Amino acid sequence: MTIQIKTIDLEPKRQTFGHVARRLGGDKPASRYLEGTLDVQATDHFHYKPLWEPEYWHYDERKTAVKMADWYKPLDPRQYYYATYNISRSTMHQAVERNFAFVRERGLIEKLGRNARIQVERGLLPLRHLHWGSNMNMSEICQRGYGTAVTAPCIFSAGDHLGMAQIVSQIGLELDGQTGSSLDGAKTNWIKDAPWQPIRKLIEDSFVERDWFHLYTAQTLGVNLLFDMVYKHADAAWGDGSITLGMLTGFMADWRADEARWSDSVVKTVAAESAENNALISGWAKTWIGRAVEAGRAWARELAGDRGNAADKAGEAAIARARSLGLAV
Amino acid sequence: MAQIASITLQNNDEARPVIEAIMADNPGVRVLNMPGAVKLDRDGELVVKRASVEERLGRSWDPQEIHLVIISMAGNLDEDDDQFALSWKH
């Protein structure tokens, strides 16, 4: 007897959700990213008008001056949704843990010279507060923004900043034998130490910006250049600890490249929508890059001892970046 | 008659960007949908380009990752960092 194995090909009634199919222009299988992003945010039928801001609805396109016909146009080229974001970050964090283990095993932190220690405590540890401020900005953009395509990656970015603040704190704990005293000192420096004050003013001024895309431009093109300055252009500041610090902050370099792929593409898409958008964003970018460079100079002068060079270099890179996105800066 | 270069891939989330890339890069490719699998045939040559897959996948992709979703293939394989090509050329 011969047995014939037959397969029946059952066509699914639909390949994806109706609202996703309408955007894809046909019923075809969509990636999880698209299914988890497109038209996820509510647009109608809100029950209660927010009393704290009665001129707007909860999700309201008028909360920024830039206008988009479709806020689902600036998609994330990294295609992050909850799962892919977490998988990517957990891989990156494994490298961090390995590096910390390596540094601990070889006692590289104990081997730091006195000067390098002082430099790290004064010049690097207060940066956790700037990360925390950036976390608040990104969360604010997420809650005031419009469209899941932009707001979802913002909360991922907020999570990144929280994580980086923790990495900086961990470096502090390695320095002070897990007592936390270096972190108390870092907070005092953040509030009182002169070279940090322009940077603190910059981030605190950004907290009160109500236009969410203005804030987005300020954060991703302006504030982020300060992270470039510290992590990328100021190796000399850490003296004999530059290699150790380079290892421990490797995450930040990877993060910056990853973040820029997304944040640049959003700015580029929104600026390309109309000449009005471009003019607004160019103006914001110009102001905030200028302010960030100005704020960074005091840090670079005092703490990197390079007459402000690191800030200028990071600023030039930010301007080149903004120009490549089609902005007039 | 030209010999057919062919590749059969699983039909899932990981393979879908690869399938789309093949369909975009290989004019005249014939697609056969089977339960859980997709067979792609083309006369002479069939190529999977890294750049096209990366564009659809949104991350960097090593052509060797295709082995995670491949079921079967026909043709002589020419594989490097940028592509995974099947053909009957020598």
Q: Is the dihedral of CA B70, B75, B79, B82 positive or negative?
A: negative
Is the confidence at residue A182, as pLDDT, over 90?
yes
Q: Nearest by CB to B33, which of A9, A31, A77?
A: A9
CA-based nearest residue to A150, from A253, A77, A240, A225: A77
With an 8 Å Cβ cutoff, are B57 and A79 in contact? yes
Domain assignments of chain B as residue spans, ordered by start: 4-87
Q: In this structure, which topology does domain A77-324 adopt according to CATH?
A: Ribonucleotide Reductase, subunit A (1.10.620)
Whether the predicted interface score ipTM is above 0.90: no
Q: Name the pairing type of β-strands B70-74 and B45-49.
A: unpaired
Q: Nearest by CB to A77, which of B13, B17, B58?
A: B58
Burial class (CB in 10 A: 0-12, 13-18, 19+), A177: exposed
- DSSP assigned state of A208: T
What pLDDT does A114 receive? 92
AA identity, residue A278: N
Residue B24 in contact with partner chain A when CB distance is under 8 A: no
Measured in degrees and rounded to the nearest 5, phi and psi for residue A45 equal 60, 45
Q: Using CA atoms in the order A92, A98, A100, A101, what is the torsion angle rounded to 10 degrees?
A: 160
The answer to whether the CB of B84 falls within 8 A of the CB of B77 is yes
Domain assignments of chain A as residue spans, ordered by start: 77-324
pLDDT digit string (tens) for A129-142? 999 999 999 999 99
pLDDT digit string (tens) for A35-49? 999 999 999 888 888
What pLDDT does B45 receive? 94
- How many Å apart are CA A264 and CA A268, to the nearest integer? 6
pLDDT digit string (tens) for A255-271? 999 999 999 999 999 99
Question: Would you place residue A6 in the very low, low, confident or very high pLDDT band (cuts 50, 70, 90)?
Answer: confident
- Share of residues in chain B with pLDDT > 90 (%): 80
pLDDT digit string (tens) for A196-253? 999 999 999 999 999 999 999 999 999 999 999 999 999 889 989 999 999 999 999 9
- How many Å apart are CA A266 and CA A272, to the nearest integer? 10
CATH of B4-87, one of 1.10.1740.10, 2.60.40.1930, 3.90.56.10, 3.40.50.1370: 3.90.56.10
- Share of residues in chain B with pLDDT > 70 (%): 98
Instruction: Give the mean model confidence (pLDDT) for residues B4-15.
Output: 93
Look at B55 and A5; give whichever has higher pLDDT: B55
Residue A56 tokens read as 């707007």
Residue B37 in contact with partner chain A when CB distance is under 8 A: no
- How many Å apart are CA A142 and CA A135, to the nearest integer? 11
Distance from CA of A185 to the nearest CA of B (A): 40
Which of A12-16, A120-124, A181-185 has the least mean pLDDT?
A12-16
Distance from CA of B35 to the nearest CA of A (A): 5
The answer to whether the CB of A73 falls within 8 A of the CB of A81 is no
Q: Nearest by CB to A78, which of B13, B17, B59?
A: B59
Give the chain B residue whose CA is nearest to the CA of A6.
B35
* pTM (predicted TM-score): 0.90
Is the confidence at residue A1, as pLDDT, over 80?
no
Instruction: Give the mean model confidence (pLDDT) for residues A85-109.
Output: 96
Is the confidence at residue B1, as pLDDT, over 70?
no
CB within 8 Å of A126: residues ≥ 6 apart: A186, A187, A189, A190, A193, A196
With an 8 Å Cβ cutoff, are A31 and B16 in contact? yes
Residue A31 in contact with partner chain B when CB distance is under 8 A: yes
Residue A32 in contact with partner chain B when CB distance is under 8 A: yes
